[in-house]
Amino acid sequence: MNAPSPYLNLPTRSQDEVLAERMAAYNAKVLNTIVALFDPRNASQPLACAHCGSSAHVGLVGFTKKYAVTCESEDCPVDCQATGSTRDEAVKAWNTRA
Ligand SMILES: [Zn+2]
């Protein structure tokens, strides 16, 4: 039996309700983490080229210390690439480009 709140006439929550709420919040957090792991926008590997389907390559651009992801096909209809100051940034830009 829970003691009534001395401040408000709000129903007091049982320990089970509080625990269930915490479990639900924890489960949602774990689920979000798992969903993020499988979201291609968070992948550290470049997706196939959106224009020709060929695999993409990550490399450094000359001496600029910038990373670029480019299509590996010489017959690609579009000369496309995405750059970033880190490898992950370049891959993310490549995977989310229009
Ligand atoms: Zn391509």
Domain boundaries, the chain: 13-42, 44-96
Collect residues with CB below 5 Å from ion ligand 1: 49, 51-52, 54, 71, 73, 76
Task: Using DSSP, state whether 36 is helix, strand or coil.
Answer: helix
Which position has the higher pLDDT, 25 or 5? 25
> 3 CA distance to ligand 1 centroid (A)?
68
Averaged pLDDT of the chain:
86
Residues 6+ apart with CB under 8 A from 81: 68, 69, 70, 71, 94
**Is the Cα torsion angle 34, 38, 39, 44 positive or negative in sign?**
positive
Quote the ligand 1 centre to 91 CA distance (angstroms). Answer: 15
pTM above 0.75, yes or no: no
Cα of 58 from ligand 1 centre, angstroms: 13
Model pLDDT, residue 2: 66
Residue with tokens 């997706």: 47
Residue 63 to residue 48: CA distance in whole angstroms? 26
* Higher pLDDT pick, 55 / 98: 55
Pick from 62, 64, 63: which is nearest to 85 by CA?
Answer: 64
Would you state the pLDDT for residue 42? 66
Residues 6+ apart with CB under 8 A from 91: 43, 44, 45, 46, 58, 67, 69, 82, 84
Q: Ligand 1 mean position to 64 CA, how many Å?
A: 24
